[in-house]
């Protein structure tokens, strides 16, 4: 099993940390992982993206241009990455701020209204974990118990009290995700 994922959105949406938690969870489960961020000035309030690979084998290139899954959190990223999803792959997007929905019919498209729901529930800070939950519902590349492990390793000790809230968000995300174009 090798899962090549791009997570893309605005800086500040928790794109990099979502990727980090996913990568850590995979590592804790004994898988090979890589986490490759975009970096530089574009991170200052602009778009941010990170490629995460989770695999049972030695990862060759951590730099990838085609993805099994794209998790998309803004319109710019949708425009940029929709065409890079492998045929038969998965695209998950949050409809908040999306004016032009995905058009491809050869991939699985799901949406998750995590921005809206997390704000409604006063959980805006763990919005990214809701999205992650949605992804794991469709593709359980790491098992539940390792998400908690991943959180423990990627969050600083002083934030460990927030782990239950994060796990709640993951659970919520699983309920929230809905299919748009399912092959």
Partner 1 sequence: MAKELKLMKGNEAIAEAAIRSGCDGYFGYPITPQSEVMEHLMAEMPWEKTGMVVLQAESEVASINMVYGGAATGKKVMTSSSSPGMSLMQEGITYLAGAELPCLLVNVMRGGPGLGTIQPSQADYFQTTKGGGHGDYQLYTLAPASVQEMYDFVFKAWDIAFKYRNPVMILSDGAIGQVMEKVYVGDYIPRWTDEEIAKNAPWAAFGKPATRDHNIVTSLELDSAKQEQNNHRFQAKYREMEKNDTLYEEIMCEDADYVFVAYGSCARIAHKAVQLARDKGIKAGLLRPITLFPFPTKPIKELAQRVKGMLSVEMSAGQMVEDVKLASEFKCPVEYFGRYGGIIPTPQEVVEALENKLIKG
Binding site for partner 1 (CB under 8 A): 20, 23-24, 27, 32-37, 39-41, 59-66, 153-154
Tokens of 28: 């804790």
Smallest distance from partner 1 to CB 5, Å:
14
Instruction: Pick the closest to residue 172 from 142, 121, 124, 133 (CA basis).
Output: 133
Closer to partner 1 by CB, 59 or 167: give it: 59
Smallest distance from partner 1 to CB 98, Å:
27
Smallest distance from partner 1 to CB 34, Å:
5
Closer to partner 1 by CB, 60 or 165: give it: 60
Tell me the C-alpha to C-alpha distance, in Å, between residue 101 and each of 66, 104, 105: 20, 10, 12
Closer to partner 1 by CB, 134 or 150: give it: 150
Instruction: Pick the closest to residue 73 from 53, 52, 90, 95 (CA basis).
Output: 95
Distance separating alpha carbons of residues 104 and 78, to the nearest angstrom: 11
Residues in the chain: 183
Torsion angle in degrees (nearest 10) through CA of 84, 88, 90, 95: 80
Closer to partner 1 by CB, 34 or 77: give it: 34
Instruction: Pick the closest to residue 77 from 56, 57, 48 (CA basis).
Output: 48
Smallest distance from partner 1 to CB 20, Å:
7
Smallest distance from partner 1 to CB 24, Å:
6
Closer to partner 1 by CB, 39 or 178: give it: 39
């Amino acid at each position: 099993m090798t899962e090549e994922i791009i997570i893309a959105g605005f800086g500040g949406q928790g794109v990099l940390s979502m990727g980090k938690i996913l990568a850590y969870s995979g590592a804790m489960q004994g898988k090979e992982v890589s986490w490759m961020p975009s970096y530089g000035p574009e991170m200052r309030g602009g778009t941010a993206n990170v490629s995460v690979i989770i695999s049972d084998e030695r990862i060759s290139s951590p730099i990838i241009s085609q993805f099994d899954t794209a998790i998309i959190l803004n319109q710019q990223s949708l425009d940029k990455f929709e065409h890079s999803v492998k045929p038969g792959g998965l695209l998950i997007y949050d409809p908040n701020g999306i004016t032009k929905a995905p058009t491809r019919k050869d991939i699985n498209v799901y949406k998750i209204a995590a921005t809206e729901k997390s704000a409604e529930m006063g959980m805006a800070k763990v919005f990214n974990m809701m999205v992650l939950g949605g992804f794991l519902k469709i593709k359980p590349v790491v098992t539940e118990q390792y998400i908690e492990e991943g959180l423990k390793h990627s969050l600083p000790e002083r934030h460990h009290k927030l782990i239950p809230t994060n796990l709640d968000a993951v659970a919520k995300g699983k309920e929230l995700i809905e299919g748009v174009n399912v092959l």
